[in-house]
Amino acid sequence: MVQHPTANTPAGNLRSGARLALLGLVANFVLATAKITAGLLGNSFVLIADGIESALDIAGSAIIWGGLKVAARPPDATHPYGHGKAEPVAAVIVSLGVIAAAFGLAVQSAQAIFQPHHAPRPFTLVVLIVVVIVKELLYRSVMRIGRDVESTAVQTDAWHHRTDALTSIAAFIGISIALLGGPAWQSADAWAALFACALIGANGYRLLNPALHEIMDTAPRGEIVAAIRAAASSVPGVRNIEKCLVRKMGLEFYVDLHVGVDETISVRSGHSIAHEVKDAIRRTDSRIADVLVHVEPAGPAR
């Protein structure tokens, strides 16, 4: 049996993810303000670019938060399968926003390489050290929750924090080179900003794929399908499993199963076996919201 200790209440997990996204929103606001202010006062283009990226993350966290709040709503008359698709939709919107932001910042960074500007000030390095520490801590805590509940949107939000930490490290290196190398190396600040944009764009693309797969109902990976087939096969009266289709909806899974039974048994007996199969499958993983069992004739036992 697959054990998922944090998966007992999918709606509760979605609400927890929404609270984490809200925390990320507040953190991004504080850090973006600090980085842009330090960049302006400290003559650092890469720090300004990094701060703008954090400001864009504020919008990203807000979208993630809204998507998770919608996904946590229970099924209703117009959405009988629930609102779980709001979660990957939010992840797609944020990923596309990250890619667009990377492109825009890259254009500005490339222009800055050929423009004269003052060397950055040393205090900007202190700001970046604080940012890297805070962002890495946020990444680890948010990613742990995202993996536990298998939320694409929460993991996307976590990678925003990791990306921000990486861009801040690139900014730290660029500013350090500009400070140590003197006037001849002042463009290192802008080169670091360009490198940071490449990291941002690559992560945006990497985050886009799983969200698109989920929207397209791509079959889930891992042991859940094997566990479902094993549970169904263990039910007395089941001869074979003809089809096992699984799709993910938010944090929940929906199963469509075709089982073969003795063709000579009554409809009532076949109906009883179908219910036992459904119960056995739902016991394997509490994230399974519903199971649709189709009973097929498999011929008498030999």
Q: Where are the domains of the chain?
A: 10-215, 224-297
Q: Using one digit for the tens of pLDDT, what is the confidence trace for 239-283?
A: 999 889 898 877 788 899 999 999 889 999 999 999 999 999 999
Q: Sheet containing 288-297: which strands, arranged edge to edge?
A: 238-249, 252-261, 288-297
Burial of 210 (0-12, 13-18, 19+ CB in 10 A): middle
**Same CATH fold, 224-297 and 10-215?**
no
pLDDT at 224: 86
Top-ranked range on mean pLDDT: pick from 42-46, 62-66, 260-264:
260-264
Top-confidence residue, 16 or 99: 99
Whole-model pTM: value is 0.61
How, if at all, do strands 252-261 and 288-297 pair? parallel
Q: Which is nearest to 154 in space by CA: 167, 139, 165?
A: 139
Kindly tell me if the per-residue pLDDT of 284 is higher than 60. yes
User: Residue 296: enclosing H or E segment and its boundaries?
Assistant: strand 288-297
Q: Using one digit for the tens of pLDDT, what is the confidence trace for 26-40?
A: 887 888 888 888 888
Burial of 283 (0-12, 13-18, 19+ CB in 10 A): exposed
Q: Using one digit for the tens of pLDDT, what is the confidence trace for 229-246?
A: 999 999 999 999 988 989
Share of the chain above pLDDT 70, in %: 85
Q: CATH topology for 224-297?
A: Alpha-Beta Plaits (3.30.70)
Both tokens of residue 255? 């199963």
Architecture of the structural domain at 10-215: Up-down Bundle (1.20)
